Amino acid sequence: MKLYLVPTPIGNLEDITLRAINVLKSVDAILAEDTRTSGVLLKHLGISKPLHSYHIFNEHQTVQRVIGQLKSGKQLALVSDAGTPGISDPGFLLVRECLKHDIQVECLPGPTAFVPALVNSGFPADRFTFEGFLPHKKGRQTRLQELATEERTMIFYESPHRLLKTLQQFQEVFGADRQGSVSRELTKVYEETVRGTLPEIIAYFAEKTVKGEIVICIQGAGKPARRSGNKYQQADEDDDDE
């Protein structure tokens, strides 16, 4: 009995590892955040395995059933739609229950969106804080105020439709001179990283229709301002026609 946590590509299907492929081929079944999304990946890899739904809305109801399957001797893999399970995705609850029942858990290394965004930001990566998604309402302002004096690089996930509002809140709390870096569509054709002060980044995205998953990196408090240079780095042409 064993649970594998298997990272999947965040965009580019070539980022799947050989080890991940071998594990997905070997397990009895795969727990998927969205069976349709994972089904596309498995079809691309030529893998045919039973797919069971396991996501944030049903994990409390299904975790004991999964534990029962594992205790019966099955080997299962948990995958999210993209990236590493448990990082702003379901996984923690199941891992905790497995450990309570002495079920072996193995997490494979692989894609995680915030790592390339952090390294590509130009901010210090020796010490950082990963905040994931901020609360949408209750506790949001309190958390932002707590982070106003954070000296480490801060990393956030955000959705396209909330990007501008979040950046504006960052500017209000952290100040207009705070440097930021916004990465979207990582590993995809239209991958883009925009760097600069918060007002500069806000002005840039105010003129665009924003698509794709987004990672925001914010310079820590009290850090020296970065020298001005090329604010924008894109892997391909502008994607106004995307």
Q: 161 lies in a domain?
A: yes
Per the CB < 8 A criterion, the answer to whether 93 and 63 are in contact is yes
- Final residue in a domain of this structure, among 77, 107, 137: 107
**Total number of domains constituting the chain:** 2
> Quick one: pLDDT band at residue 137, thresholds 50, 70, 90?
confident
Q: 240 lies in a domain?
A: no
> Quick one: pLDDT band at residue 223, thresholds 50, 70, 90?
low
Copy the structure tokens of residue 93.
């609850």
User: Among 137-151, 201-215, 223-237, which is the least confidently predicted range?
Assistant: 223-237
CATH of the domain at 207: 3.30.950.10
- Final residue in a domain of this structure, among 58, 78, 107: 107
Three-state DSSP at 115 gives helix
- How much is the average pLDDT of 11-30? 97
Q: Closest by alpha carbon to 119, among 149, 145, 148, 153?
A: 153
Separation of alpha carbons 203 and 114, rounded Å? 23
Residues spanned by the domain of 129 = 114-234
Q: What is the pLDDT of residue 226?
A: 53
Q: What is the pLDDT of residue 222?
A: 84
Q: What is the pLDDT of residue 232?
A: 46
Contacts of 227 (CB under 8 A, 6+ apart): none
Q: Do 138 and 58 lie in a common domain?
A: no
Q: What is the pLDDT of residues 159-178, one digit of tens each?
A: 999 999 999 999 999 999 99
b/e 205-215 (16+ beta carbons within 10 angstroms → b): beeeebebbbb
Q: Do 187 and 159 lie in a common domain?
A: yes
